[in-house]
Structure 1
Amino acid sequence: MSIDIDDDESSDILVRFPAAVRFIDNGLHPQHESGKSGKSEKSETREDGTTATSTSSPKNGVYVHCAMGKSRSVSCVIAYLLYKYPHRFGGKQFIESPASTQQRRITAKEAVNSALQSVRETRPGAEPNSGFMRQLELWWEMGCPADDDGAVERHPIYQKWLYDGMLQEARDMRMAPDAEQIRFEDEVRAEEKEQDDKTVTQNDAKEVRCKKCRRTLATPNFLVSHTPTGQAASSGCAHIFIDTLSWMRPVLEDGALDGRLVCPNSKCGATVGRFAWQGLQCTCKEWVVPAFSLNRSRVDEVSSRPVGSSAIRMPPGRNGSL
């Protein structure tokens, strides 16, 4: 199998992993037409006329190489290890929540680094470039899908990664992205049949509403954490960062690099925040790129009851106590 790709941080090796890991697996564990694993059978006739059959498993190997044996080939080997032996690197169990993305990335980074250390035990010079390392982390986050060659291309995480790359190119040219290419997360998730009201595990999960008219601007699933640990930002931050949502379409389609975000309620129109494709720095010193920020002084944060929880609504004047 030949993969024609440059050892460059911007090269897309991720999309090649499904075919690569299946090729390696078939080489290490060949299957006979009968569906049985590649075992050789040896028969011999005994002195009493009976036949004895013994089986043995041959030691198969796959030669994975590139020009220097450091980056491209090592990336494919790591991808295979993560795919074939996930239990060695912590499993792939992630609990989705509004603040889970950053934590998921931390877990993925640990898994990939652990797999790299395994390779270095016999190949000390193994050193995938930083772009390939990030793609391996995405591979892990996806759950290492390899059912067919298009498994990665169809995955939402891969599609979001391609979109982020497009945004980076636009920023490098100091331009806003093409209006037709802007990804509105609420619409994307609806197409992926992911419900906005999926279960939220945090007891302190909150949705954000316009302070003036109380129109909901973002539910917990669309809040963007900007802390290093992936936890919710403290109330000391002046900004609440959110995903790109469809109610922003009118202002974003104007093609400006930055500007104001206004309440989508036509009877309100209050300024609730700002956006900047090149990013904004929060008062807590953390950068968010691109940034869609709601000003904490212009909005209300309202507790969102976890889906599936039940409560008894008490009549006016009753607090539920006996």
Structure 2
Amino acid sequence: MSFASIWNHQTQSKEPIVFHCIFLHPTTQLLTHWPSTAIDPQRLKKIYRDASDTITLDRKDIILHPDTPIDLKKDEIYTIVPMKGEITPSRPMPTPVLTSEMQESSLEEFEESLRKNVEDASEDELLQKEVNYMGNFDEITDQIVDGLWLGDCYSMECHKQMHIKGITHVISVANGLKPITNDNLTQHIYSLPDVPSSNLLEIFDETSNIIDSAREKGAVLVHCMAGVSRSASVVVAYIMKTFRISRDEAIQLVRARRNQIYPNQGFMNQLKEYETMGCELREDRHIRSLQDTIERMKNLAFLMESEGRVRLEWLKRDPNNSLLKETEKKRLFVCASCQRPLFLVESLLHPTEGLCNNLFLEPMQWMHDQISGFSGQLQCPQCRKRLGSYSWTSSMEKTIECSCHHITVPAFNVWTSRVLPAGRKSWT
């Protein structure tokens, strides 16, 4: 049984689903519990990508006008009128079957035999084997709106079923996962633990852009370990931003499709903050207390010393693995040799305009494989040119001091001569 199935039984929402009316697609049978009292064609087409400007109620057509949202009757079921063109109904997935071969071998042994005999197996056989081991995609995931699926860690392995669903992108919001090895799927990984202090707010704009882009030509799966907290928060943020509704309304819409969602309190607070921002991260939010950041880095140094390793989720996200907005590109620093994106200006702890020899910054995810010792060199992850050095310790012989006598402990610094603001050929 998958995590999602377990949570279905163990984690029920504490509040009843509140909605104003229901939309129904006549072919796919996708239901949407709409929380608002009005709808316009733009928002309707974000729910159902093939929707026309017409909906029906009691067999009567209602024409939606672009400039004037129409009022909706409470507790009614409105049927979508799809645009003209053939619509292919969703293909049902096979029922899982426990075979004698599965009973007599471990998962690893069976996967190895499958890999060796893959050329001899038919597509239907491979699909059946995937369903047997990973689960039925329709049962372990839920389609929130047309082309947006929310699921657990097993769902990311259902490659053949995702292909049938037209899924082209996967957003993985969990730590400790192995990357997907499938050329037909584009994966975006955010290594964040399910704890209230994890900063999901920072990725809401980015993940919303990825979901929008994926839904234009295909579909997208968003998942974490159980499909309950982290991935649910990302989907709720997208629903808020796309449909211009409140956090609580978005949660109701998502929960009506996947009842077990339950973001932790920290994520609930971040979603509320996102709502107050108008679902758009403000640049002034990046102006943080330097002392708070230094304290966080000291805590990282303590964790590194106690665990003897550095976890990827402790580090600042790599801008090279992100879809940057135009405003972020203006705050980007790159390697002077190969132009590989390295960090945004808000990661700097000692901002400068080229007057100092060193730039001190928060430890970045691209440093992960380089900072396992107590001190050492930092290299560009692409061209391998040396960028600077790092030190977790405060001992005098390992302390890194700038030419302006600035000292940060722990220290992660790059030389000013080895990086440049994006789009510039020099500091001057």
Q: Output the TM-score relative to the length of structure 1.
A: 0.35
Task: Please say which structure displays the higher CA radius of gyration.
Answer: 1
Q: Which has the higher strand share?
A: 2
Q: Output the TM-score relative to the length of structure 2.
A: 0.27
